[in-house]
Amino acid sequence: MSLVRGHPLITFLVLAYALTWLAWPMWALGFWPNPVFSFGPFLAALIVLALTRGKSGVGGLLRRMVRWRVELRWYAVALLLPAELALAATVLNVLLGAQAPSSVELGSWTILLLTFAIVLLIPGMGGAWEEPGWRGYALPRLQTGRSALLASLILGVLISGWHLPLMVAGQVHYSDVVLIIAAVIIFNWVFNNAQGSVLITMLMHAMNNTISGSFFSLMFSGADSVRQSWLLAAVWCVVAIVVAIVVVIVAGPAHLSRKHRKQEEEEEEEDGKKGAEEPGVARPGVVKPTPA
């Protein structure tokens, strides 16, 4: 217990990898459809919070998962941006010589709503249930004492490594290392601006899995599939670079937000509350007036 309480973030990371990769032998034996338990980071966060903060810590994470009072524009970003980037990569792939999707393949869009609901609501059926661990637990702690941009780069490397079994199994391309690091910057930008709502990042992750992983990417095979994966990584990188440059210029790298303070580790007795406000930066949910 002293080890867990003294190094809660390291304990979380070890558990997140271990609980996730337990699926690897089960997958190899044919007992599980993929080599990861995507809810591993969520379980790891619950275990560490239960051991270090008890009911209040677990409750704080669960409240983040249903924090729906977020500005509408962040819902728009979470739901539309992954779809737009997947469509852009697909169009570029066809322009570069890939076989165009058939009308039958494109007509399967009618089941996307069901796919989205399954990925979002059922643990283990998609990546949405990674988010309570990565964004709900790890990110606020990585951002404590570090800039939001640096914390994003660290988390991007950690999440990329977590996906290793999927890459070895051939279920995702190694280009996902690049895509994930770029996507983490964007996801963290949305998370910080959405006042620490894990729900918004779960929606974003579910939409990306639905539109990209379960729709457009399935329309290509062989070299076309490899090109599609690298094009996806490229378009996410372009957006991440634009976000990083624009946001850093406007708001600085510390918070990746002009209006809201970065999400940091919460005090055990105060869910969602931070210490004293920094000059010119609002606490989550509070917007400081801009001097005329």
Round to whole Å and give the CA distance between 225 and 98. 9
Cβ-proximal residues to 259 (8 Å cutoff; 6+ apart), any chain: 193, 282, 287, 288
pLDDT in tens, 108-117: 999 999 999 9
Q: Which of the residue ranges 52-61, 152-161, 189-198, 272-281 would you say has the lowest mean pLDDT?
A: 272-281
Report, as an integer, the average pLDDT of 78-89.
97
If one counts every other C-beta atom within 10 angstroms of the C-beta of residue 63, the result is 15
pLDDT bucket at 128, cuts 50 / 70 / 90: very high
> Please, are residues 134 and 155 in contact by the beta-carbon 8 Å criterion?
yes
pLDDT in tens, 238-249: 999 998 888 877
Report, as an integer, the average pLDDT of 123-139.
94
pLDDT in tens, 90-106: 999 999 999 999 999 99
Report, as an integer, the average pLDDT of 133-148.
94
pLDDT bucket at 262, cuts 50 / 70 / 90: confident
pLDDT bucket at 270, cuts 50 / 70 / 90: low
**Measuring CA to CA, how many Å separate 178 from each of 6, 41, 78, 161?**
32, 21, 20, 11
pLDDT bucket at 79, cuts 50 / 70 / 90: very high
Range list of β-strands (E), the chain: none
Give the percent of the chain with pLDDT over 70.
Answer: 88
Rg for the chain (alpha carbons), in Å?
19
- pLDDT at residue 286 tops 80: no
